[in-house]
A and B are shown apart, each in its own frame.
Chain A
Amino acid sequence: MKNKEYLREDYAKTLKFFSKGKDSPEIPGNSEAIEKYRKLSGLKETDFFYDAFLKAKSTIPEKEKKPVAGYFCNTVPEELLLACGVHPVRLCSADSHCAECGEEAIPGDICPMVKAACGDFFHDFNRMMDLLIIPATCDGRVKLAEILSPVAKDIYFIDIPRNTDYLENVNIWEKEYTKFFDYLKSKFKVKPARREILDACVQTNERTRMYRKIYEARAKKPGIMNAFDYFIMANSSFFLSPAEWTEKASLLYREISGREQEPGRKKILLAGSPVVFPNFKILDILGDAGCCVSADVVCSAYGRLYDPVEIDEETESGIIRALSLKYVAPSICPCFVGIDKLINTVLDSVERYGLDGVIYYNIRLCQVFEMASGVLRSVLKDRDIPFLFLKTDFSKEDTGQLKTRVEAFMEMLG
């Protein structure tokens, strides 16, 4: 479990070179972007989320006064961390500046999300994390665990089999999560009672409920909350505690539910790669073309917050199994086997909310997402649902071409 086990000590020393750290926790350009999107927002209650983003990196450790653990992806059970009195922070980053920093350790032609995650980690805040948890989702993350092992204080690797079929692998998930829980208990020297895990589950379930309300309100009434606000809100759940997030989101929900929908907007479902602040390029383009992202199935919003923990048996093993059924089994990440889940989710959303089309966003160099798009494309074509595939990265150079595509897509929808 110790980071040394991942990399031989003398190699680790070489990599320590990167750990010199960047002085300012501020990432250049972020505050400008925040202000830009804040101006576009017509809502009062979103201010909290924008502010939270500005202060995120510098204030968490002081505010929470408890150990902080960072993790990647959607398959790390937050509830177990919360039960152990640890503040969980999801570190997935999509910052072009961080991606450049990451190129110090990772060659250029790698998924920018992985590079950004790596570059982000060279900043002081992330290195102060008491624990870094990396699940075996995509190949990039697996290697990241090794590359970051000399830099991080401590690292834990959760091995998740690629098949997310419940019948096949539920016992393996249970074993892995139990191992992880035992590790947390011994690392932070706590013995959480069952009650505490259940309380953590209640917290995240409250968050899920609030999120679903907002999700459905947006899907049913296009235009009551723009996509930037929505993704800022969803992304801020990466580092806000569930209780705090729920409280603020309920205020936001109250505000948006009083609003009237904008008539005549085309409703779009956004699928594919995660949309993470500050990489709102795709939202900028879609917004400029006048289309309304009213629903999404991306892992930084829907995939993270839509499903609750449903506990069948309130035994410790039952709770851990239930967690794996929240995090792993319904995962629509194309790293796992089970593309029918993605297709089902897309088809269901389109039908339920009467959406006009599907835009599939693919971050360049993520092969699995791109491969999944082909299947989705033919399925949607069979059902006469318009589909647009957009492949891009964090850079701005192809904005013109993407705009042409999106505009043509909008013309196609009529």
Chain B
Amino acid sequence: MNKRRITFLRRTVQILCLVMLVYGGYIFKVKHHTTQQANLFPALKAPEGYISTTKFDRGSILWPSGDNPVLENYPPGLVCRFNPRGGLFKACIVHFISENLTWRTSFKYLLPHLTLFMLLCFLFGRLWCRWACPIGTVGDFLTMLRKKMNIPSRKFPAGFRNGLRSGSYCILGTSFFISALIGVPHLARFQCYWFLPYCQICPARLICPIFGLIKPGWKDFETAITTMFTILAWLVLGIFVAAFYWGRRIWCHLCPVGLMNSWFNRGAGVELKKISVKCNKCGLCTEACPMGLTEMFEKKTDGVFNQSGCIMCLRCVEICPRDGCLSANFFGRKIVESRLKK
């Protein structure tokens, strides 16, 4: 019915990102770590003889085999552990940190990537989740499917969403703790099963390989621990599908990657602003919010309201029918503001 420019733009960007993140490596044939790059940025150079993947030759994509230098994949490259050859930049921060906690990589080698991550977060906050995240795009497709089938979406109370956020902290903490623990030389023998604990249950474990035309490790029942992780992965995938199908972006409250991005939301370059005198309290911003956030509706003062759960989809700005009530700014400069749809 109404022209929805932001939605159109966002869908385009999402599909573009999905293609580039998954097949970018194939399309542009990024050769990581050329001598030239290494000369330009000495930090990119892999140290002589030191850090290299241990030989967990278990025939699975989770465990890269051989003596490849670890840093070969940074940056840019590897959207997801499970899509090893694709990707234009190292997107998944949880994977990046977990892995390097285990490898005990020296901080200075990680600096370029961390700087890039921080810079992107500082500019865009959690924008990644709704505009680029490949599994989010898959989830949005599920939501679209539900809408086509005329099934109403589920609304979740604020308490539930906060609970998910706490759950997300637990997952992140546990994951980093285990990663750090197995990095201790004495416990190195556990690496072969407990390596990248979150990645092993992440829904991307089963989704991303499909896009990368790689067989997913979907029936890894070799040992008790891998069996546990495989079952968990399937369970989480089930939750993921259900969450996107019925609850729109309710999954994103649980996602630890999104959580780390969200720390930078307040004070990010992208700002969502409300002029509350123009608000007529119709509640459309909350109704349309895929994360089910209410702050934009509740606030009765003027100002920038970047909520920590906000994924910057700008849906609220787009749907608000009051001229100039909500607006999206980039470092104080107005990009788009709400108005009556033509």
Contacts and interface: CB of A to CB of B under 8 A. Distances in A.
Interface of A: 164-167, 170-171, 194, 198, 201-202, 205, 208-209, 212, 307-308, 310-318, 321-322, 325-326, 329-330, 332, 338, 340-341, 344-345, 347-348, 351
Nearest to A351: B277
A330 B286 contact: no
Contacts of A348: 277-278
B147 A313 contact: yes
A262 to B, nearest CB: 25
A313 B315 CA distance: 12
Interface stretch (B130-138, B149-157, B226-234): B149-157
Contact of B2 (A205, A313, A316): A205
Nearest to A312: B288
Given A313-B147, A313-B153, A315-B147, A330 B282 contact: yes
Nearest to B283: A166
Given A209-B340, A311-B1, A340 B319 contact: no
Contacts of A322: 284, 287
B284 A344 contact: no
Contacts of A170: 283, 287
A196 B28 CA distance: 48
B283 A308 contact: no
B321 A308 contact: yes
Given A198-B1, A308-B340, A310-B321, A344 B282 contact: no
Contacts of A171: 155
A344 B341 contact: no
21 contacts: A167-B294, A167-B297, A167-B298, A194-B150, A198-B1, A205-B1, A307-B280, A307-B321, A310-B2, A310-B288, A310-B319, A310-B321, A312-B284, A318-B147, A326-B282, A329-B280, A332-B280, A340-B281, A341-B281, A344-B281, A347-B277
Interface string B263-286: 000000000000011111111101
B299 interface: no
Nearest to B324: A352
Contacts of A307: 280, 282, 321
Interface of B: 1-2, 146-147, 150-153, 155, 276-284, 286-288, 294, 297-298, 300, 315, 319-321, 340-342
A315 B297 contact: no
Contact of A318 (B1, B152, B276, B281): B152
A314 B147 contact: yes
Q: Classify the secondary structure of A's interface with B.
A: helix
B340 A329 contact: no
Contacts, number: 96
B288 A340 contact: no
A338 B153 CA distance: 27
Contacts of B277: 344, 347-348, 351
Among A166, A205, A332, A347: residue with most chain B CB under 10 A: A166
A345 B283 contact: no
A295 to B, nearest CB: 14
Contacts of A326: 282
Contacts of A312: 284, 287-288, 315, 319
Contacts of A194: 150
Contacts of A341: 280-281
Given A312-B288, A344-B277, 8 more contacts: A308-B340, A311-B1, A312-B315, A313-B153, A316-B152, A325-B284, A326-B282, A344-B281
A412 to B, nearest CB: 24
B319 A329 contact: no
Contacts of B297: 166-167
Contacts of B321: 307-308, 310
Contacts of A340: 281, 300
A200 to B, nearest CB: 11
Given A201-B1, A312-B288, A329 B147 contact: no
Nearest to B158: A167
Contact of B286 (A167, A202, A315, A338): A167
B281 A310 contact: no
Contacts of B279: 344
B281 A330 contact: yes
A149 B204 CA distance: 61
A379 to B, nearest CB: 11
B121 to A, nearest CB: 28
A344 B283 contact: no
Contacts of A345: 280
Contacts of A208: 340
Contacts of A344: 276-281
A13 to B, nearest CB: 44
Contact of A316 (B150, B294, B342): B150
A205 B340 CA distance: 10
A198 B147 CA distance: 14
A120 B284 CA distance: 36
Contacts of A332: 280
Given A166-B286, A308-B340, A338 B281 contact: yes
Contacts of B147: 313-315, 318
A328 to B, nearest CB: 9
A210 to B, nearest CB: 11
A329 B282 contact: yes
A197 B147 CA distance: 15
B212 to A, nearest CB: 32
A211 to B, nearest CB: 10
A323 to B, nearest CB: 11
Contacts of B282: 166, 307, 325-326, 329-330
A318 B287 CA distance: 9
State the 3 A-B residue pairs at the shortest beta-carbon distance, nearest first.
A166-B283, A317-B152, A330-B280
B151 A315 contact: yes
Contacts of A321: 287
Contacts of B150: 194, 315-316
A30 to B, nearest CB: 34
A194 B155 CA distance: 21
Nearest to B342: A209
A321 B152 CA distance: 10
B280 A166 contact: no
Given A308-B340, A344-B277, A329 B283 contact: yes
A192 B339 CA distance: 30
